Amino acid sequence: MSDMMEYTVRRLTMGVFVVLAVTALLFAIMQLMPGDPIELVASPRVSPEKIAELKRLWGLDQPTHVQYFYWLGHVLKGDFGNSITTGQKVGVLIGARLPYTLLLAGSSLLLQYIIAIPLGLWAAYKENSRFDKTVVVSSVVFWSIPTFWLGILLMLLFSIKLKLLPVSGFKGFASIILPIMTATLPSLASTLRLTRTEVLEVIKEKHVVTAYAKGLTDKKVLIFHVLRNALIPVTVMFFLSLPWLIGGSVIIESVFAWPGIGQLLWKSISSQDYPVVQGIIFIIAILTVLSNIVGDILTAYLDPRVRLEMKGEN
Amino acid sequence: MLENPLLSVKDLSISFNTNEGKFNAVDGVSFDVNKGEIFALVGESGCGKSTTAFGLMRLIPKPGEISQGKIIFDGKNLVKLPEDEMPQIRGKEIGMIFQNPLDSLNPVYSVGKQIYEGLILDNIGKQDAWKRVVDIFNDVQISDPKERIESYPHELSGGMRQRVMIAMMLSRRPKLLIADEPTTALDVTIQAQILELIKELRDTFNTAVLIITHDFGVVAEIADKVGVMYAGKIVEVGDVYQIFENPLHPYTKLLMKALPRITKQEGRLETISGTVPNLVSPPKGCRFHPRCPMATDICAVEAPVFKEAEKNHRYCCHLEVKKRGTHH
Amino acid sequence: MDIKSIAKQVFNNKMFLIGMIMFFSILTVAVFANQVAPHPYDTINTAQALKPPQSQYLFGTDQYGRCIFSRVVYGSRIALKVGLIVVIIESVIGVVLGLLAGYYGGWLDRFIVFVTDLTWSLPPLIMALAIVTMLGPSLNNVVIAIAVVSWAQFARVVRAKTQAIKNMPYIEAARAFGECDFSILLRYILPNILSPIMVLVTLALPQAILSTTSLGFLGLGAQRPMPDWGLILSDGISYMERAPWISVFPGVAIVLTVLGFNLVGEGLRDLLDPRLKV
C-alpha cells in the first residue's frame, strides 16, 4: 500500500498547483473586470482622497500579483477578507451558505446513485427488453432537459397547481423536495445510462462465464462479478459529478431562492463583490480538485490493474 | 464394460437464430465419456466443438439454444434440468477451463479469493476453505501457495494462470472437467506442463476430462479417446491408437497431416484448403465433400451414415475400408 | 462496409432517424423564421398582454403582448447560430491541442494536459459565469466563455486517439518518405480520427445550446428584446401563476432541439465508434 501513499501524495501536490493556478487566473480576471468596487459602493460625494485611502486600506493600489499573494496569505490563515457590499466576513458568509448547497448536491448525488445502479443493472441484464428500451429512451430525453426549465415545470405542477409543496426559499423539509428533484432527474439519467453501458460491457467479458462455470447463481454473478467491476467507472463518475452539481446549483438555487453558495456567488458577481467571489471560487476549486483526486484514488483501490500502472509510472 | 458412461451425449443439436438465418452449430452429436477417461474433441475452429462444450454446461451464449437431444450426466438429463438447478452441477459436478486464462479470471479479485468463492458453496467453514485453497495450489504445483493466493491475475504468468483455473475448477472435485483449448494461448513448453498436470490430476482424482482442441499434437499427448468434428457433426470417433494408426475419414487424415512434425526437417506445415462451410446453408450430402480430395458423385447428393470399422471405432463417410483383422 | 449495409444500419437505428427528423425540422424553422412566425418577435401590443394560447397567438403572449410563438421561432436562430459557432471554436482548439499533445508528447504534452486539468478544476458553468462577467454580458461573450470551458473534451479524446495511431506502420512509412510533421498530422492522422471527432461534435452541439440558454436564463447572454430562449423563460417566471405559457414553451423548444441533436449524436456514435466514451 505504500505505492498508494506515494500516488496519493503525488496527486495532492498536483492538486495544490492546480488550485493555485486557477485561483490566480481568476484573480487576474477579476482585476480586469470593468468597474471599480470602491467607486461602485462609495457614494459620489466621497472625496477622491478618501477613495484613494480606502484603496490603500484594501490593498487595491498594489499590482495584481502582490494583491494575490496578500490574499492567499490571509486565506491560508483562514481569513477570506470582508464583503464589500455588507462588510461581513467572507468566511462567515460562505460558512452559513455552504451547508445548504452541500445538502442539496449531496442528497441529489446519493439519490441518483441509489436509483441508477439497480435500474441500470437490471436494464443491462434484460438488454433489448421493453424495460431496457424505456430506460435508454427516457435517459436521453431527461438529460436534454435544462434544469431551470425542469425546476419551473415542477414548481408549476407541485406548488402552483397541486399546492403540495412550497414555491421557494427554505422553510423546512418540504422545501428541499423540488430542488432535489430538479438537481437529480437529469443527472440520474446520465448515471443510469453509464451504469447500463458499463454493465453491458462487463457482462460480455469471459470471466463472467467462469463465474457461472464455478457454480455461482445468477444473483451472485451479477452482484459480485458484473456489478462489482462495472462500479469502478461508475464510482469515478460519482466523484467527478459533484462539481457539476455544485456548478448547477447556481441555477437551481436562483430558481428556488435556495440560500446556498450558488445564489451567493450569483449575487456577488452581479454586485462585483470581489472578496466573496474569490472566496467561493476558491472553495469550489478545492472541492472540485479534491473530488477528482478522491475519485482517482478510489479507482486505484477498486481496480488492482490501475495499481499496477501506478507502479509502472514511478 | 457394464458400467454406464459418466457422460453420454445423444443426438445433441444446438441452434443459433441470427439475422442471417437459423443454423445448427452442433448438429446431432453423440459420444460417451467414461469415468477417469480423457476424451478429446478435435476439429478446426468454427466446427462446433466449443459450442458443444458450453452446451454441456448449459452456458451457450445468446442467441444459441439446445434444440434437441440429451445430455445424460451421472444418470440425469441435463437438457431437462431446470435452470435454477444448474448451479449445483456447474463447478461441483462439472468443471470447465478456458482458452485464455487471463480473460477468464476476474481482474479485481485475488486468485485465492476466486477459488475460495467456489469452495464456500459447499458448506465448509471459512478457515477450512482457505486451507483447501492452499492445498489445491499445492496440487496444481504452484510454488509458495500462501503468497500466490494473494496475487491478482495480471501479476501471474500465462501458465500460472492456467494452473489457477485448473485449481479453481478441480477444487470441488467434480466428476468431469471440460477443458476448452486449455493450452492454445500458451508457450510450447508450458503447454506440455499443463497437459502433464491434467493427466496427473486425472490419475489422482479419477476425474474424467473432455478436452477441446484443434491440435492433434495435444490429442497424442493426452487423450484416451478421440472424436473428430466437422461442420457441427462428429465424423469419426475411436480410441486414440485406432485414430492415429488407422484414420478412416478423409478429414481426420488431413487434420493429422496438418500436425507439425519436428522429425521431418523439410516438411512444411500442411493446411487443408478451403474453409469450414457457412452453416446457414451447409453443402448438400456430405458436408465435407467440397474440400474432400476423395469425394465422388454420391458425396454431393447423399449424407453418409456411421459405419463401424472395428470395436469402438466408427466413422461417417461413403468410402468403404477394409476391416483390419488385428492390431499391433 | 458497403453503402447498402450502412443504409440498413441507419434505418434500423430509430433514435438516429427520429433525431435527424427533429434536426431538419428545427433547421427549417430557423431558416424560414420570417415565413413561419406570424408576428415580428419584438412588436409590443399591450392590448394583447398575457393572452393564453389561442389561434392568433399559438403559444400565448407575454406582458407586453408579444407573440411567444414568434419569439420562440426566431429564438431558434440564436440557439442554432450560437451552438454552431461555439462548437466550431471549441473543436478547432481541442483538436489542434489534442493532435499536438498526442503527436509530440514530452513537455508540450505535459503542458497541454496541465491546461486541460486547469479547465476541469472548476465546474464549467461557474468558469463560464466568471468569464462572461469579466467580458460583460453579451451573446458574443457567451460564445467565447462556453468555447473556453468546453474544448478540453475534444483535446482529451483526440490526444488519446493520436497517441494510439502515431506509431502505426503507415505513419512511420510517411515519415520515412520525408513527409513533414505538419503534413503527417493533417493528411495521415486527422483523417483517421475523423469519426470520433464527428461524434464529439454532434454531442457537443446540444451541450453548447444547453449552456447558452443557461447563461441566457441568468441574463448574461443576448439582451432584451432579443428572443433568446433562456431569457424569455426567465422573464416569464414573474408571471408564472398568471401566464405559465411564457416560460413553458421556450423550454419545450430547448428540449426538442437538444434532444434532436443528442439522438443524432448517439446514433452516430453507434454507427461510427460504439466504444467511444463521452
Residue with more model confidence, A33 or C156: C156
Distances (CA, A) of C4 to C7, C8, C14, C199, C273: 5, 6, 17, 22, 19
Contact of B116 with chain A, judged by CB distance below 8 Å, is answered with no
| pLDDT recorded at residue B266 | 45
The residue-averaged pLDDT of A93-109 equals: 93
Would you give the DSSP letter of residue C56? S
For the four alpha carbons of A180, A185, A188 and A192, in that order, the dihedral sign comes to positive
Q: What digits encode the pLDDT tens for the residues B269-279?
A: 456 677 777 78
CA atoms within 13 A on the CB side of B33: 28
CATH number of this structure's domain B7-93+174-316, picked from the four choices 2.60.120.10, 3.40.50.300, 3.20.20.105, 3.40.50.1240? 3.40.50.300
Total-model pTM: 0.86
Nearest-Cα distance to chain B for A162, in Å, is 48
Res. C275: pLDDT tops 80: no
All structural domains of chain A, each given as residue ranges with its CATH number in brackets, are 90-313 (1.10.3720.10)
CB contact residues (below 8 A), chain A span 221-240, against chain B:
224-225, 228-229, 232
| pLDDT recorded at residue C168 | 87
Res. A24: pLDDT tops 90: no
Distances (CA, A) of A182 to A19, A250, A252, A264, C127: 29, 13, 7, 19, 22
| pLDDT recorded at residue B268 | 47
| Residue A146's pLDDT band (cuts 50, 70, 90) | very high
Nearest-Cα distance to chain A for C229, in Å, is 11
Nearest-Cα distance to chain A for C15, in Å, is 8
Q: Under an 8 A CB cutoff, do B91 and A214 touch?
A: yes
CB A105 within 8 A of CB A244: no
Distance (Å, whole) CA A197 – CA A192: 9
Distances (CA, A) of B99 to A68, B64, C188: 62, 20, 37
Would you give the DSSP letter of residue B22? E
Q: Which residues of A touch C259 (CB under 8 A)?
A: 140-141, 144
User: Across the 328 residues of chain B, what is the mean pLDDT of every consecutive 10-residue run?
Assistant: 82 89 90 95 89 94 91 94 93 92 92 94 91 92 91 92 93 94 87 92 94 92 94 93 92 82 47 75 88 88 89 90 55
Query: A1, A210, A298: which to substitute to probe chain B, counting the most B Cβ within 10 Å?
Result: A210
Q: Under an 8 A CB cutoff, do A146 and C262 touch?
A: no
Nearest-Cα distance to chain A for C146, in Å, is 14
Lowest mean pLDDT among A54-58, C27-31, C94-98: A54-58
Nearest-Cα distance to chain A for C268, in Å, is 14
| Residue C176's pLDDT band (cuts 50, 70, 90) | confident
CB C42 within 8 A of CB C225: yes
Distance (Å, whole) CA C178 – CA B34: 67
By C-alpha distance, the chain A residue nearest C134 is A33
Domain ranges across chain C:
3-40+48-272
The residue-averaged pLDDT of C181-196 equals: 90
Contact of A160 with chain B, judged by CB distance below 8 Å, is answered with no
Q: Under an 8 A CB cutoff, do C251 and A149 touch?
A: yes
Res. A28: pLDDT tops 60: yes
Q: Under an 8 A CB cutoff, do C126 and A265 touch?
A: yes
Task: For residue B86, give the C-alpha cell.
Answer: 444448474
| pLDDT recorded at residue B265 | 44
Q: Under an 8 A CB cutoff, do A216 and B117 touch?
A: yes
| Residue A306's pLDDT band (cuts 50, 70, 90) | confident
Query: C17, C132, C133: which to substitute to probe chain A, counting the most A Cβ within 10 Å?
Result: C133
The bridge status of strand B225-230 relative to strand B208-213 is unpaired
The per-type count for chain B, helices as H runs and strands as E runs, is: 10, 12
CA dihedral A136, A141, A143, A144 (to 10 degrees): 140
Contact of A206 with chain B, judged by CB distance below 8 Å, is answered with yes
Q: Under an 8 A CB cutoff, do B87 and A303 touch?
A: no
By C-alpha distance, the chain A residue nearest B168 is A214
Distances (CA, A) of A173 to A179, A225, C138: 11, 39, 38
Three-class secondary structure of residue B185 per DSSP: coil
Task: For residue C93, give the C-alpha cell.
Answer: 482548439
Q: Which of C15, C122, C210 sits opposite A146 (nearest CB)?
A: C210
Phi-psi region for residue B43, left (φ > 0), alpha (ψ -120 to 50) or beta?
A: left
Contact of A311 with chain B, judged by CB distance below 8 Å, is answered with no
Phi-psi region for residue B296, left (φ > 0), alpha (ψ -120 to 50) or beta?
A: beta
Three-class secondary structure of residue B146 per DSSP: helix
Give ipTM to 2 decimals.
0.90
Query: A33, A142, A144: which to substitute to probe chain C, counting the most C Cβ within 10 Å?
Result: A144
Distance (Å, whole) CA B94 – CA B97: 10
**Helical residues (DSSP H) of chain C, grouped into ranges:** 3-12, 14-31, 33-36, 68-104, 106-119, 124-135, 139-150, 152-165, 169-176, 181-183, 194-217, 229-236, 245-272
Distances (CA, A) of B24 to B7, B57, B287, C192: 22, 18, 13, 39
Q: Under an 8 A CB cutoff, do B155 and A229 touch?
A: no
Residue with more model confidence, A195 or C137: A195
| pLDDT recorded at residue B251 | 92
Q: Under an 8 A CB cutoff, do A216 and B168 touch?
A: no
Strand partners, B96: B178
CA dihedral B68, B72, B75, B77 (to 10 degrees): -30
The residue-averaged pLDDT of A212-218 equals: 94
Task: For residue C247, give the C-alpha cell.
Answer: 416560460
Q: Which of A207, A212, A217 sits opposite B106 (nearest CB)?
A: A207
Interface A-B, measured as beta-carbon pairs within 8 A, has a size of 76
Q: Under an 8 A CB cutoff, do C258 and A251 touch?
A: no
Task: For residue A177, give the C-alpha cell.
Answer: 423536495
Q: What digits encode the pLDDT tens for the residues B105-115?
A: 999 999 999 99
Contact of B63 with chain A, judged by CB distance below 8 Å, is answered with no
Share the mean pLDDT of chain A. 86
CB atoms under 10 Å from CB of A10, counted, come to: 14
The residue-averaged pLDDT of C8-29 equals: 88
Between helix C139-150 and helix C124-135 the angle, nearest 10°, is 140
| pLDDT recorded at residue A171 | 72
Res. A311: pLDDT tops 70: no
Phi, psi dihedral angles at A258 (to 5 degrees): -85, 130
Domain ranges across chain B:
7-93+174-316
| pLDDT recorded at residue B27 | 92
Nearest-Cα distance to chain A for B235, in Å, is 28
> What are C21-29's contacts with CB under 8 Å, separation 24+?
C21/C260, C22/C256, C22/C257, C22/C259, C22/C260, C22/C263, C23/C260, C23/C261, C23/C264, C25/C260, C26/C76, C26/C80, C26/C256, C26/C257, C26/C260, C27/C80, C29/C73, C29/C76
Res. A30: pLDDT tops 80: no
Q: Which of A18, A26, A266 sits opposite C218 (nearest CB)?
A: A266
Q: Which residues of A touch C136 (CB under 8 A)?
A: 34
Distance (Å, whole) CA A206 – CA A259: 51
Nearest-Cα distance to chain B for A211, in Å, is 8
Contacts for B266 with CB less than 8 Å, ≥ 6 apart? none
Contacts for A219 with CB less than 8 Å, ≥ 6 apart? none
Distance (Å, whole) CA A20 – CA A12: 12
Distance (Å, whole) CA B245 – CA B309: 13
Q: Under an 8 A CB cutoff, do B105 and A217 touch?
A: no
Query: A152, A157, A236, A245: which to substitute to probe chain C, counting the most C Cβ within 10 Å?
Result: A152
Q: Tell whether domain C3-40+48-272 is in CATH 1.10.3720.10.
A: yes
Contact of C75 with chain A, judged by CB distance below 8 Å, is answered with no
CB atoms under 10 Å from CB of A309, counted, come to: 10
Q: Under an 8 A CB cutoff, do B121 and A206 touch?
A: no
Contact of C125 with chain A, judged by CB distance below 8 Å, is answered with yes
Distance (Å, whole) CA C73 – CA C257: 12
Query: A127, A200, A207, A306: which to substitute to probe chain B, counting the most B Cβ within 10 Å?
Result: A207
Give the Cα-Cα-Cα angle B281, B286, B287 (nearest 5 degrees): 40
Q: Under an 8 A CB cutoff, do A210 and B106 touch?
A: yes
Nearest-Cα distance to chain A for B186, in Å, is 17
Res. C249: pLDDT tops 50: yes
Contact of C14 with chain A, judged by CB distance below 8 Å, is answered with no
Q: Under an 8 A CB cutoff, do A251 and C206 touch?
A: no
Q: Which of B108, B152, B172 sits opposite A228 (nearest CB)?
A: B108
| pLDDT recorded at residue A192 | 94
Res. C10: pLDDT tops 90: no
- The subunits that touch chain B, with at least 3 C-beta pairs less than 8 Å apart, are A
